[in-house]
Structure 1
Amino acid sequence: MMNGTSNWQVVLTEFCTLGESPVWDDRLQRILWVDIIEGHVHEWYTAARRHVMTHFPVKIGAIALIDDGAVIAASDEGFVFLDLRNRGVKRITDPESRLADNRFNDGKCDAVGRFWAGTMDEVTGKKGAGSLYSLDKDGRATRRVNNVTCSNGLAWSLDHQTLFYIDTGTHQVQAFDFELETGRIANPRAVIDIPESEGWPDGMTIDAAGMLWIAFWGGWKVARWNPYTGEKLSEIKLPVAQITSCTFGGKNLKDLYITSANIGLTDAERSAQRLAGSLFVVDNLDVGGIGPSRYVQRESPSDFATHTIHGH
């Protein structure tokens, strides 16, 4: 496996303020990702080499695919449906509507189609201000973890019995016993302790061998870790500091797509990191990934005219 290599490519010249939430769509052979601050959803169709960007009047922390082709998102307006073709937004529920400084951040679907996403205080970064939620198919949000500072990476073990989770400020990966049928979690414990010298652990994905790939904000890299031993196995160096997330894609799920950000950089840092905010890809890794699960909802989100959000 790679260690310290620079075998990366830029997918396209499109710089995100805060790129996040890369999602591979195996049906349409496209990679999707978001720019949280700008409210953009990007789509890159790999065969046609075609880029589509859609703007929405919300800050979009994370997205996931839906079986009928729509997209679900976790945003500063709570959980919403997004219509990428007509630019519609339909509200589902906002469990933190009374917390004006909070917004949703990273999110992902489990194997039965629940959408998991967590929050953070984006104004002051107040410690413990956020929570982790799951959204069931009936549109009901359940709080699963509280006292979260910056909710980030999510992944499930290959047997779906363990949830791995990152609250960035802890410099740890936590594991929970996970009950797939109900979504219940229990027995939280730290399985990876990450030295501060690595950077801040951000987004995360799991590979076909059950190892975790973690993006490091301020770390200039993604790194592969063993959640059963806590050992760092390898890393891929990148030309920018603020690496936010990663996911596997491509026809064989062996291409690693990596998002980044340029928010908060000084002029000197921007000059030194001219690719900051890019989407990167590392092709044809030795190990592949797991295809993303889709959100399964009870009713179709096709009626975007109802409860449509027009602005912040």
Structure 2
Amino acid sequence: MSNVEHILPCRNKLGEGPVWSVDEQVLYWVDIENDCYHRLDPLSDKHDVIPVGVPIGVLALRTSGGLVMATKKGFALWDEEEKKLTYIARPFGENPDLRFNDGAVDCRGRFWAGTMADGENVQERGTLYRLDPDGSVHAMITDIGVSNGIGWSPDNRTMYFTDSPTYTIVAYDFDAETGTISNRRIFVETPAEEGDPDGLTVDSEGYIWSAYWNGSKVVRYDPQGQVDQVIQLPVLRPTAPAFGGQYLDELYITSALPEEDQRAAYPLSGDLFRVKVEVKGLAKYKFAG
């Protein structure tokens, strides 16, 4: 496709986790390694960068207003007026070798976020946690390399989850009432040379869009895991797609900087992109806590 727009030269070190607010008509995303999040109003071009003081792996909207975040130190609520984090759960304590990396909110307002190694101990393994609205935390998947893209089918009966170093997106049966998952199976497995599957989103037709770190592309898969469409991008490390715009038919894509010796070949790395598509996305659920 040739309609990829380069819409913001934000030069993120590790841009991730875009979330469109239908209420505000703005896009939120994080820059993990710069300890901040961004907010963009595409109509006015107003762009805010808000420092938080700790790496944010992913953020989500709350039904009561404001944001919930999964940070290097645990789950926290963000007070925009006071610019302050209030921690509500620290599932891995003060372990300096772990941090949260990606996540999403399910249809019952539970916030799912997973961890990865982020320190000297590269042998640390990640866990996918579920933060319920009552503040309780549940370990849902363990022994993860890098916890990444997560999403649900439009009927909320299937959950998709990415473990990047395995080059695999898996699917689970999802019970919306209880928040439990079962019947793990491989949804997509790709060759290493195509890049690592990273963030993902699901559209209104039940197709899955996955960004490929070190792969310069976003791939749309049908519900059977077959490639339906490929969007080539001018960056080496696209990180995550999200639907936005008035009609949820614009795909926003975050990206990250590659290694120093690769940056000259990819001068737009770390920036934000947008693609007009012929399908609508699904509005993001909000954390009910």
TM range (shorter): over 0.9
CA distance in 2, matches of 1:189, 1:126: 27
Please name the residue that 2:182 is paired with: 186
Which residue of 226, 232, 237 maps to 1:231?
226
- Contact 2:242/2:251 (<8 A) preserved: yes
Equivalent position amino acid for 2:284 in 1: P
- Structure 1 unaligned runs (5+)? 298-312
Matched residue count: 289
> 1:99 Cα shift?
2.8
Aligned residue type for 1:241: L
Instruction: Note closer, same or farther for the CA distance 1:128–1:77 as it changes in structure 2 (3 Å cut).
Output: closer
RMSD: 1.3
Instruction: Output aligned runs, 1:278-293, within 5 Å.
Output: 278-283=271-276, 285-293=277-285
Larger mean Cα displacement after TM superposition, 149-158 or 192-201: 192-201
Q: Note the alpha carbon deviations across 1:47-72, whole angstroms, 9 max, x for none.
A: 22211110011100000001222100
2:211 pairs with 1:215: yes
Is the contact between residue 68 and residue 78 of structure 2 (CA under 8 Å) also seen in structure 1?
yes
Which amino acid counterpart does residue 136 of structure 2 have in structure 1?
R
Cα deviation 1:68-91 (Å, max 9, x = unaligned) = 221001110110111234311110
Q: 1:265 aligns with which of 232, 237, 259?
A: 259
- Deviation of 1:100 after TM superposition, in Å, equals 2.3
Gap runs ≥5 in structure 2: none
Q: 1:249 and 2:241 equivalent?
A: no
**Is the 1:126–1:149 contact (alpha carbons within 8 Å) kept by the matching residues of 2?**
no
Q: Normalized per residue, which structure has more strand?
A: 2
Aligned counterparts of 2:97 and 2:2: Cα–Cα separation in 1: 38
User: Are the aligned partners of 1:128 and 1:148 in contact in 2 as well (CA < 8 Å)?
Assistant: no
Q: TM-score, normalised by structure 2?
A: 0.97
Match of 2:33 in 1: 37
Equivalent position SS for 2:34: coil
Partner of 1:240: 235
CA contact (8 A) 1:127 1:148 kept: no
Q: 1:49 — aligned with what? A: 45
1:75 to 71, 75, 89: 71
Of all paired residues, the percent bearing the same amino acid is 38
Alignment partners' CA distance in 2, 1:46 and 1:172: 33
- Which one is further off, 151-160 or 97-106? 97-106
